[in-house]
Chain A
């Protein structure tokens, strides 16, 4: 089993759609979780941390379920500029990345 697994994608959605990405992790002792965004041929950029209580940043909502070892990211009212690859990251002393899920938002 991979340490961090994500929906394979790709996701192709129209502007204004709501899209959800899922991620599972294998180490039940993991403590820190993040979503990063990576544009084509660019470096990953921190989108948001994921807290146990769930957290929201504008149109983005992240959820953590420790019992199921599951992380999610919800994007509401998708914009063209949201098109990117979204990386699920678990920090176990070093950062473990999922393979990423590619999102394309179309007009």
Chain B
């Protein structure tokens, strides 16, 4: 069975640009969450979606948005990129309380 897949794996953007990250959950998982992990820290919660509805939002600015599609895949969008947005962005899908992570998208903002 395929695990959580994310695309792209690496991305370089310029300050002020916009980026869209994509995630496909494990088949049968209806919940998708997004996390930001900067070097030396644990992942920080950004969003959770379940059945296309937002179920939770972390302490991130409105430049961050997300959505979930009918097939349960999800996109994370970040506008007006800042240097501080450089991080590993992780998507996780959940059957219940446990979470299974994709390999992440490493975003570098220059």
Please give the distance in Å from A67's CB to the nearest CB on chain B.
22
**CB distance B99 to A95 under 8 Å?**
yes
B42 within 8 A of A: yes
Per the bound structure, the CA–CA distance linking A42 and B33 in Å amounts to 17
| Interface range for A | 10 to 19
- What are the interface flags for B47-89 relative to A under an 8 Å C-beta threshold, 1 for contact and 0 otherwise? 0100000011010000000000000000000000000000000
Interface size on B, residues (CB 8 A): 22
What is the interface of chain B, defined by CB distance below 8 A to chain A? 33, 35, 40-45, 48, 55-56, 58, 90, 92, 97-104
Task: A4-B42, A91-B97, A95-B33 given; name 12 further pairs at CB < 8 Å.
Answer: A43-B101, A44-B43, A44-B101, A46-B98, A46-B99, A46-B100, A97-B35, A97-B42, A97-B44, A98-B42, A99-B41, A99-B42
Can you give 21 contacting A-B residue pairs, CB < 8 Å? A32-B97, A42-B103, A43-B90, A43-B101, A43-B102, A43-B103, A43-B104, A44-B90, A45-B101, A91-B97, A93-B48, A94-B48, A95-B35, A95-B43, A95-B99, A96-B45, A97-B35, A97-B43, A98-B42, A99-B42, A100-B42
